C-alpha cells in the first residue's frame, strides 16, 4: 500500500494544483479582461500620438496611421483643417460619423484638437472592445505553458518513484533469470519451499514443452494450408478462365442454329449432338479440376507425368475453333511431330489455354498467331506471338499482370496475369515483350520429376 501511495500522492497533488490554478484563472477573467482593455487604450493612444508627432508629409502620416489601424480594432479620422489626412470611412460625411458606431461595441472614443509638430490636427478616435476570444487565446497559451512545465515536473517525480518502486522487482527478475534453466540445485530440497518450487519448475517445464510442440505443429499445418489455398486459387482462376471459352463457343453455335430456324431435322439433331459433346467435355474438365483440388498437394509442380505436348496443344486448340473463325484469326503452330515432356499435364494445359485466349483476345483481325513449343536442357518453352491494333496494345500495356474487370463477352482480361501466376507455380516465369504492334509472350517452365 505504501508503494502505491508513492505514485498516487504526487500525481494527485499535481492534478490538484492544476485544478486550483484553472479555477483561479476563471475567477480572474473579469478583472484581467478589464486590465487588458485598459492596456489596449493606452497602447493605441501612444501609437497614434507617436505617429502624429513625426515630421512627415500627409501621405506618410496616412500610411503609418493605416498600419496602426490595421493592428488594432479601431476607427480613426484625422483632419488638418478642412483637409482629410486619414480616415477609415472614405466617402462618408464626417458630420454624421457618430451614427455609424454601435455604442455597445465601443470601448473608448475621443475627439479634439491635438497639437503636433505637423500643426494642429482634429483627431476622432474610436476603440472597440477587445474580442473575448483573443483574450481566451492568450490565456490558453499561458495555461499551456504552465501545464507543460507541470507535466515535465510530474514526469520527473514519477520517474524517481518508479525507480524506488521497481528496484525490488529488478532483484526478483535477476533471481528468476538465474533459474531460467531450471537448475533445481539452487534450491534446497530439504525445505518445504524448495520441494514445492522444484515441483512447480518441473510442471512448468513439461507444460512449456507441450505448448511449444503444439504451436510448432499448428504453425506447420497453417503454412501447408496457406500454400494449398494459394494453389487452389490459382487452379480455380485458370480453370474457370478456361471453361469460359467452350461455353462461349457453344453459345455462338446455338445462336447460329437458332437464326437458321431449325428447318432441317438433321440440323436439329446435329445441334443436339454438338451440345451433348460440349457438355460432356465440360463435365470432364470440371472433374479434372475437382480431382486436382481433392488431391493432397499444395503446388503445381507435383503430379508430374509423361505426355506429348503437341497432342495437348491440338486438344486445347479445338476450344478456340469458333472464336478463331469469328475473329478471322489464323493460329500457326510450329513444333516437332512429337514432343514428349514430363510435368503436371493439367497445369500446362491451363498455361497453353490462357496463352491462346490472350492472343485471340488481342490479335488484330485478318492476322496470324504464331505458337511454338520447344524443349531444351530440361526446360519447356512456350512462345506465342500475335499482332494487335494500337488500342489493344495500349490496353495490354496498362493491364499487364493485373487483375481487372473487362467489358469483353468471353474473356475476363486476366489471361496474361494467370499465365504469369501459373508459370511461377510451376517454378518458371512468363515474359511479355511489346514491340510496335507485335506482342510476344515467352513462358519458360522446368520439367518435373515423376514420383515413384
Q: Under a CB-based contact definition with an 8 Å cutoff, are residues 71 and 44 in contact?
A: no
Choice among 6-15, 246-255, 386-395, 409-418 with the minimum mean pLDDT = 409-418
CA angle 246, 382, 393 (to 5 degrees): 75
If asked whether residues 245 and 372 sit together in one domain, one would say yes
Mean pLDDT of 330-357: 85
Domain count, the chain: 3
Which residues, at least 6 apart from 357, have a Cβ–Cβ distance to it below 8 Å? 241, 242, 245, 320, 411, 415
Q: Which of the residue ranges 170-174, 192-196, 302-306 has the most confident prediction, judged by mean pLDDT?
A: 302-306
Mean pLDDT of 243-249: 65
Give residue 377's pLDDT band: very low, low, confident or very high (50, 70, 90). confident
If asked whether residues 26 and 106 sit together in one domain, one would say yes
Residue 94 inside a domain? The answer is yes
* Residue bearing the bigger pLDDT, 216 or 267: 216
If asked whether residues 298 and 407 sit together in one domain, one would say yes
Would the pLDDT of 189 be above 70?
Answer: no
If asked whether residues 239 and 311 sit together in one domain, one would say yes
Percent of the chain with pLDDT over 70: 62
Choice among 111-120, 138-147, 169-178 with the minimum mean pLDDT = 169-178
The sheet carrying 74-80 orders its strands as 83-87, 74-80, 119-128, 106-116
Burial of 125 (0-12, 13-18, 19+ CB in 10 A): buried
If asked whether residues 49 and 28 sit together in one domain, one would say yes
If asked whether residues 208 and 245 sit together in one domain, one would say no
Please state the length of the chain.
Answer: 452
If asked whether residues 322 and 201 sit together in one domain, one would say no
CA 363 to chain CA centroid, Å, is 36
Task: Please say which residue of 101, 133, 165 terminates a domain.
Answer: 133
DSSP code of residue 165: H
* Residue bearing the bigger pLDDT, 195 or 12: 12
Choice among 30-39, 210-219, 229-238 with the minimum mean pLDDT = 229-238
Would the pLDDT of 406 be above 50?
Answer: no
If asked whether residues 19 and 121 sit together in one domain, one would say yes
Q: Which of the residue ranges 98-107, 190-199, 218-227, 260-269 has the most confident prediction, judged by mean pLDDT?
A: 218-227
> CA 311 to CA 320: how far, in whole Å?
15
Give residue 442's pLDDT band: very low, low, confident or very high (50, 70, 90). very high
Is the overall model pTM greater than 0.75, yes or no?
no
Amino acid 368: pLDDT: 92
Would the pLDDT of 122 be above 80?
Answer: yes
Give residue 90's pLDDT band: very low, low, confident or very high (50, 70, 90). confident
* Residue bearing the bigger pLDDT, 231 or 431: 431
Percent of the chain with pLDDT over 90: 8
Would the pLDDT of 288 be above 60?
Answer: yes
Q: Under a CB-based contact definition with an 8 Å cutoff, are residues 382 and 437 in contact?
A: no
Give residue 88's pLDDT band: very low, low, confident or very high (50, 70, 90). confident
Domain extent at residue 417: 232-446
Task: Please say which residue of 197, 212, 227 terminates a domain.
Answer: 227
Amino acid 345: pLDDT: 84
Residue 248 neighbours by CB distance under 10 Å: 19
> CA 113 to CA 123: how far, in whole Å?
6
Mean pLDDT of 113-126: 83
Burial of 144 (0-12, 13-18, 19+ CB in 10 A): exposed
Minimal CA–CA distance to 343: which of 381, 371, 372, 314? 381
Would the pLDDT of 1 be above 60?
Answer: no
Would the pLDDT of 135 be above 60?
Answer: yes
If asked whether residues 258 and 188 sit together in one domain, one would say no
Mean pLDDT of 395-400: 67
Amino acid 402: pLDDT: 44
Q: 106 φ, ψ to 5°?
A: -80, 125
* Residue bearing the bigger pLDDT, 264 or 213: 213
* Residue bearing the bigger pLDDT, 58 or 190: 58
Amino acid 60: pLDDT: 83
Residue 179 inside a domain? The answer is no
Amino acid 6: pLDDT: 57
Q: Under a CB-based contact definition with an 8 Å cutoff, are residues 241 and 421 in contact?
A: no
Q: 90 φ, ψ to 5°?
A: -65, 135
Residue 148 inside a domain? The answer is no
If asked whether residues 332 and 408 sit together in one domain, one would say yes
Mean pLDDT of 443-452: 70
The rounded mean pLDDT for the chain is 74
Residue 156 inside a domain? The answer is no
* Residue bearing the bigger pLDDT, 234 or 313: 313
**CATH number of the domain bearing residue 416:** 3.30.565.10
Residue 324 inside a domain? The answer is yes
Residue 11 inside a domain? The answer is yes
Residue 162 inside a domain? The answer is no
> CA 448 to CA 341: how far, in whole Å?
9
Give residue 450's pLDDT band: very low, low, confident or very high (50, 70, 90). very low
If asked whether residues 254 and 394 sit together in one domain, one would say yes
Would the pLDDT of 409 be above 50?
Answer: no
Amino acid 403: pLDDT: 41
If asked whether residues 115 and 210 sit together in one domain, one would say no
Q: Under a CB-based contact definition with an 8 Å cutoff, are residues 72 and 58 in contact?
A: no
Amino acid 205: pLDDT: 67
Residue 248 inside a domain? The answer is yes
Amino acid at each position: 500500500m505504501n508503494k502505491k501511495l508513492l505514485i498516487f500522492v504526487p500525481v494527485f497533488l499535481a492534478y490538484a494544483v492544476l485544478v486550483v490554478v484553472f479555477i483561479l484563472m476563471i475567477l480572474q477573467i473579469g478583472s484581467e479582461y478589464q486590465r487588458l482593455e485598459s492596456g489596449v487604450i493606452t497602447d493605441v493612444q501612444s501609437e497614434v500620438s507617436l505617429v502624429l508627432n513625426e515630421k512627415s508629409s500627409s501621405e506618410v502620416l496616412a500610411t503609418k496611421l493605416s498600419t496602426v489601424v490595421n493592428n488594432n480594432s479601431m476607427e480613426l479620422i484625422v483632419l488638418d483643417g478642412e483637409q482629410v489626412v486619414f480616415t477609415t470611412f472614405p466617402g462618408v460625411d464626417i458630420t454624421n460619423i457618430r451614427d455609424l458606431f454601435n455604442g455597445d461595441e465601443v470601448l473608448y472614443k475621443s475627439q479634439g484638437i491635438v497639437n503636433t509638430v505637423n500643426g494642429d490636427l482634429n483627431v476622432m478616435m474610436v476603440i472597440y472592445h477587445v474580442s473575448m476570444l483573443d483574450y481566451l487565446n492568450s490565456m490558453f497559451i499561458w495555461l499551456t505553458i504552465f501545464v507543460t512545465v507541470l507535466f515535465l515536473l510530474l514526469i520527473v517525480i514519477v520517474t524517481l518513484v518508479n525507480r524506488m518502486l521497481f528496484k525490488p522487482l529488478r532483484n526478483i527478475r535477476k533471481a528468476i533469470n538465474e533459474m531460467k534453466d531450471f537448475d533445481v540445485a539452487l534450491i534446497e530440497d530439504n525445505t518445504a519451499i524448495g520441494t514445492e518450487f522444484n515441483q512447480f519448475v518441473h510442471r512448468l517445464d513439461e507444460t512449456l514443452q507441450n505448448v511449444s510442440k503444439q504451436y510448432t505443429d499448428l504453425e506447420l499445418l497453417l503454412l501447408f494450408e496457406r500454400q494449398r489455398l494459394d494453389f487452389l486459387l490459382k487452379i480455380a482462376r485458370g480453370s474457370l478462365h478456361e471453361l469460359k471459352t467452350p461455353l462461349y463457343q457453344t453459345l455462338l453455335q446455338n445462336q447460329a442454329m437458332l437464326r437458321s430456324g431449325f428447318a432441317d431435322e438433321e440440323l436439329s439433331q446435329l445441334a443436339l449432338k454438338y451440345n451433348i459433346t460440349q457438355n460432356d467435355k465440360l463435365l470432364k474438365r470440371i472433374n479434372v479440376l475437382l480431382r486436382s483440388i481433392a488431391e493432397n498437394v499444395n503446388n503445381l509442380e507435383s503430379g508430374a507425368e509423361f505426355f506429348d505436348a503437341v497432342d495437348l496443344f491440338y486438344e486445347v486448340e479445338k476450344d478456340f475453333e469458333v472464336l478463331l473463325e469469328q475473329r478471322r484469326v489464323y493460329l500457326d503452330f510450329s513444333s516437332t511431330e512429337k514432343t514428349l515432356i514430363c510435368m503436371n499435364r493439367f497445369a500446362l494445359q491451363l498455361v497453353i489455354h490462357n496463352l491462346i485466349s490472350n492472343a485471340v483476345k488481342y490479335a488484330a483481325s485478318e492476322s496470324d498467331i504464331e505458337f511454338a513449343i520447344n524443349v531444351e536442357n530440361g526446360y519447356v518453352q512456350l512462345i506465342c506471338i500475335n499482332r494487335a491494333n494500337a488500342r489493344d496494345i495500349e490496353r495490354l500495356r496498362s493491364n499487364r499482370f493485373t487483375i481487372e474487370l473487362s467489358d469483353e463477352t468471353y474473356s475476363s482480361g486476366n489471361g496474361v496475369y494467370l499465365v504469369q501466376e501459373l508459370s511461377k507455380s510451376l517454378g518458371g516465369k512468363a515474359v511479355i515483350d511489346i514491340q510496335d504492334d507485335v506482342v510476344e509472350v515467352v513462358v519458360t517452365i522446368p520439367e518435373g520429376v515423376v514420383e515413384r
